[in-house]
């Protein structure tokens, strides 16, 4: 079975500070990895994805994530956050050959002025 753990339910940070949102997964087979963002009262929007190749993935809005196979992690980072980054962030995995995504419980990023 696969599972996704987002270690922090909430991350408060000041504007222009760096941030890291942590994600670990458990799977004995190859996976695809995703980060989605959900702004208030909206659906999910894809930030970035890792399918194969370079382990450092760059996404939209200045976010990036690094796939670490040995640590089974896919942490999301941004060097300088803005107020507008305040949202819920979800990490998700998909087994190769399986259709559905398995999501973590989410991390609420709260950017303060």
Partner 1 sequence: GAGVSQSPSNKVTEKGKDVELRCDPISGHTALYWYRQSLGQGLEFLIYFQGNSAPDKSGLPSDRFSAERTGGSVSTLTIQRTQQEDSAVYLCASSSVSNTEAFFGQGTRLTVV
**Interface ranges with partner 1 (CB under 8 A):** 4, 6, 32, 34, 36, 41-46, 49, 51, 90, 92, 99-106
Shortest Å distance, C-beta 42 to partner 1? 6
d(CA 13, CA 69): 28
* CB closer to partner 1 out of 15 and 27: 27
If the CB atoms of residues 36 and 73 are measured against partner 1, the closer one turns out to be 36
Listed residue (20, 26, 19) closest to 2, CA to CA: 26
Say how many CA atoms lie within 13 Å of 3 toward its Cβ. 5
User: Is the Cβ of residue 40 or residue 113 nearer to partner 1 in the bound state?
Assistant: 40
State the nearest-atom distance from the C-beta of 86 to partner 1, in Å.
17
Nearer to partner 1, 86 or 103 (CB): 103
**What's the rounded Cα separation, in Å, for the pair 113 and 82?**
9
Beta bridge partners of 36: 46, 90
């Amino acid at each position: 079975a696969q599972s996704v753990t987002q270690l922090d339910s909430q991350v408060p940070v000041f504007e222009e500070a760096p941030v890291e949102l942590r994600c670990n997964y458990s799977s004995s087979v190859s996976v695809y990895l995703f980060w989605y963002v959900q702004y208030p009262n909206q659906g999910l929007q894809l930030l970035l994805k890792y399918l194969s190749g370079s382990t450092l993935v760059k996404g939209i809005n200045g976010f990036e994530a690094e796939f670490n196979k040995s640590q089974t992690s896919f942490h999301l980072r941004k060097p300088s956050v803005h107020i507008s980054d305040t949202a819920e962030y979800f990490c998700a995995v998909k087994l190769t050959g399986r259709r559905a995504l398995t999501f973590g419980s989410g991390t609420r990023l709260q950017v303060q002025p």
